[in-house]
Amino acid sequence: MAIQEILVPDIGSFKDVEIIEVLVNVGDTINVEDSLITIESDKSSMEIPSPATGVVKEVKVKVGDRISEGSLVVMMEVAEAAAGAAVTPPSQPSPVRGEGAKMTESKPVAPVLSPSPLVGEGLGKGASSSSKLDFSKAYATPSVRKFARELGADLNKVTGSGRKGRITQEDVKAYIKDVMSMGGVPGRGAASGNTLGVAPMPDIDFSQWGEIETVALSRINKLTGEFLHRNWVHIPHVTQFDQADITDLEAFRKQLNEENAKSGMKITPLVFIMKAVVAGLKAYPRFNSSLDAKGENLIRKHYYHVGVAVDTPDGLVVPVIRDVDKKSIMQLSEELKAISGKARDKKLKPADMQGGCFSISSLGGIGGTKFTPIVNAPEVAILGVSKSDIQPIWNGKEFAPRLMLPLSLSYDHRVVDGAEGARFTTYLAKMLGDIRRLLV
């Protein structure tokens, strides 16, 4: 066995990048491409993978440290056979050096801190063409880069589905399948930057008409834009509008807040909506499902995790509240407050935003009457909630003032048909109109 120094690989022009997570500890057994640390710049974040397999003997960094290419990350014990050899493919050597190991002269190619754009240019024409592609801005491990080069795929045009947007081999395969389905012809489908064959937006110099200011999008803005664009293009959306009478619910909510005023507990309408949604998912299980990657099978879930869109200064994020069916209104209120705070303080971890069954986007605190939320794939539906207002509702004898809550349900029409969409919103309205039904 030999001790090797594991260094930060080539991360482009980025220097003094902050470490936001240390993912390994002394004694951990690490495989090739396992993540060691997570670093973040003002543009994005990424994980630094291990170029070797071995056991961590010493961690040389901590959260908050700033590193650049060549910085020492960990000391790792590896097999003698690997000590003097590059772990990654020869075209992309690993930044590893050890006792008796010779330093390689060529620099490794590693992912830089930038999210990948959506599907764009088509496949390269063989290895000679793909070898010329510049993957310096693609967020992918060396093995995935090699895989893409072998297949002639441009990683710069692949959307990553891995942790924090990392591109996986499955993403490369899906990209190639998408391009091939469009014929791989420039100017059509995936080759033109989308899958609809629409010409790209022109690059316009707006300064010719007056003074302008260019403001960089935040990392969250960029990633959210990519995911929403992908979901809008690939999912046939339908939106069903309805409204629920929450007059009695609101009276009960205010009563609970008065009773718990001393404890500081504040219950919002959203927790009741979450409970009603779970009841709807149980009554209509197709809403609690996902299509498999090939779109040939429906995966039904028997757990109830609800994502809640949170507006932060840097953009929209959707943390997930787990096992909503097993928690009380009070527990949900506490958890919702805590996770919303983490979102605004940029303390959410990837696991906090994964595994959702259904999402809720509430604009009730801002305004508006209705909107069309975009499905948060791989979920098949999302509920939009707008601001409630007093309306005259006919009760059979007279018009009476009632507090009405607008509901906007968007769903994947491949999974849910219009009739079931209408039944779902009708069911939600019934649950919210008489919250005693949530106890049945």
Active-site amino acid positions: 413
**DSSP helix/strand/coil, 399:** strand
Q: Where are the alpha helices (DSSP H) in 33-153?
A: 80-83, 126-130, 142-151
Phi, psi (degrees; rounded to nearest 5) at 289: -145, 175
Task: Collect all residues with Cβ–Cβ distance below 8 Å to 108 and sequence separation of at least 6.
Answer: 9, 10, 51, 88, 92, 93, 94, 95, 142
- Total residue count of the chain as it appears in this document: 440
Amino acid letter, 207 = S
CA-to-CA separations, 306 to 42, 381, 388, in angstroms, rounded:
30, 11, 22
Which stretch of DSSP H or E encloses residue 181? helix 169-181
The HSE-up count of residue 76 (CA atoms within 13 Å, CB side) is 29
CA-to-CA separations, 190 to 31, 165, 195, in angstroms, rounded:
35, 19, 5
Sign of CA dihedral 275, 276, 281, 282: positive
How crowded is residue 371: how many other Cβ atoms within 10 Å of its Cβ?
15
